[in-house]
Amino acid sequence: MMDKMRSSSITAVTIGTGSLAIFIWWWFYKGKKVRLPNEWYKVGEISDIFVFPIKSLGCVNVTSVECTILGCKVSEWIRDRTLMVIDLNKKFVTARKYPKMVQISPSVTGSVLTLEAPGMVKISTDLAQVGKVFKSEVWGQKVPACDCGDEIAQWLSRFILEQDTGLRLVYYPLDKSSRDIRPNNRLFPLLKSVDSGAYPDCTSYNLINEASIADLNTKVEDPVTPLQFRPNFVVKGPKPLEEDTWDWIKIGSVIFRNIKPCTRCIFTTINPSNGCKHPKQEPLKILKEYRQIENPEFRSSVGDSPVMGIHLGLKGPNGIVKLGDPVYLGKFSDD
């Protein structure tokens, strides 16, 4: 019964040379009691795990990660996007404006965070010694933050701004999200405040399909990699764009739900290796030709931002996800 309802309510929208299945079956679940699938079938496996300790900076490529409500956890002190760079007005700063931010590589040992960047001497700061809690801002929302000190602030300002001041590094002090859903995401009823994470744009988890990127690469002149889309999990095995219609997902033994398609922006045009934007705004330009949401209700929220990848919400207990773990989809055999 549920599978039939889902199939009948999927709208296939043809755009340019491709199509995008927009799963408006979400609306059927709105207000209904949530229950977990009672059967799972394998669709692929995890081929890469990326954690981005600092919003808009480089990643840590890991072989295993603990999944928590706040995001991927690589140590007691580091989880995905639990640090960010802010300006002197306490507002977040991203690589959309300063593309070279992606060239900064973080690493962590115990509570000590170390940053490296081209032409810069390494710098470290002890996250156990951060300052008092104050309010910073992400997309107009107030979020708690602790300042990481003057030395690393000067280092970031010199590399990003080529000035001695202007930027600060802050650390998220809580174990759960403190943000409400952003207004432009409230049309997606499976998205809950608890999924918002520390400092990410939308949710604590993002997944992308290798085959979808391979399919994109048949349409662009300069190939891109999954890292250009900054996901936490990369899956291999499913067909291109199959992830659009996924609902319940289990990676290893950790249960997630597909709660929102991931809309894409100018960030996708930044080469993660050299920090340069593509001169022709690719792959964003070609994505807009075949990966846009056309349903008018959703379009009023997302505008002309194309879709690639999915946002996940953790819907079970914490657990470990490892490289090579199987990826399953859930189904309800009693319907």
Residue 328 pairs in a beta bridge with: 42, 250
Is it the case that residue 31 has pLDDT exceeding 80? no
Instruction: Supply 331's token pair.
Output: 């189904």
Residue 33 binned pLDDT confidence (cut-offs 50, 70, 90) = low
**85-129 pLDDT, tens per residue?**
999 999 999 999 999 999 999 999 999 999 999 999 999 999 999
**For the chain, what percent of residues have pLDDT higher than 70?**
90
Residues 6+ apart with CB under 8 A from 230: 50, 52, 59, 206, 267
Give yes or no for residue 11 having a pLDDT over 60: no
Q: Worst-scoring range by mean pLDDT, 29-38, 93-102, 160-169, 264-273?
A: 29-38
End-to-end distance of the chain based on CA atoms, in angstroms?
Answer: 5
Residue 14 has pLDDT above 70, yes or no: no
**Cβ–Cβ < 8 Å for 53, 60:** yes
Rounded to whole angstroms, how far apart are CA atoms 240 and 153? Answer: 42
Tokens of 296: 């008018």
Residue among 133, 256, 244, 142 at smallest CA distance from 192: 256
DSSP assignment of 2-47, as one string?
HHHHHHHTEEEEEETTEEEEEETTHHHHTTSPP---SEEEEEEEEE
Q: What confidence tens digit (pLDDT) does each residue in 135-167 have?
A: 999 999 999 999 999 999 999 999 999 999 999
| 281-307 average pLDDT score | 90
Q: Looking at residue 302, what is its pLDDT?
A: 85
Cβ neighbour number for residue 170 with a 10 Å cutoff = 27
Confidence of residue 2 (pLDDT cuts 50, 70, 90): very low
Higher pLDDT, 334 or 296: 296
pLDDT-derived band at 32, boundaries 50, 70, 90: low
pLDDT at 172: 98
- What are the Cα distances from residue 129, in Å, to 52, 63, 198? 21, 28, 19
- As a whole number of angstroms, the distance between CA 303 and CA 138 comes to 20
Going by pLDDT thresholds of 50, 70 and 90, the confidence category of residue 298 is confident
165 close to 58: Cβ distance less than 8 angstroms: no
pLDDT (tens digit per residue) in 178-231:
999 988 888 888 999 999 999 999 999 999 999 999 999 999 999 999 999 999
Give CA separation, 144 vs 88, 113, 134, 147, 171, in Å: 15, 19, 6, 10, 8
pTM: 0.90
* 5-27 average pLDDT score: 39
Q: Which pLDDT value is given to residue 35?
A: 84
Residue 306 has pLDDT above 60, yes or no: yes
The Cβ-side half-sphere exposure at 278, using a 13 Å CA radius, reads 21
Mean pLDDT, range 294-321, rounded to an integer: 91
Confidence label for 8 from pLDDT (cuts 50, 70 and 90): very low
% the chain with pLDDT above 90? 82
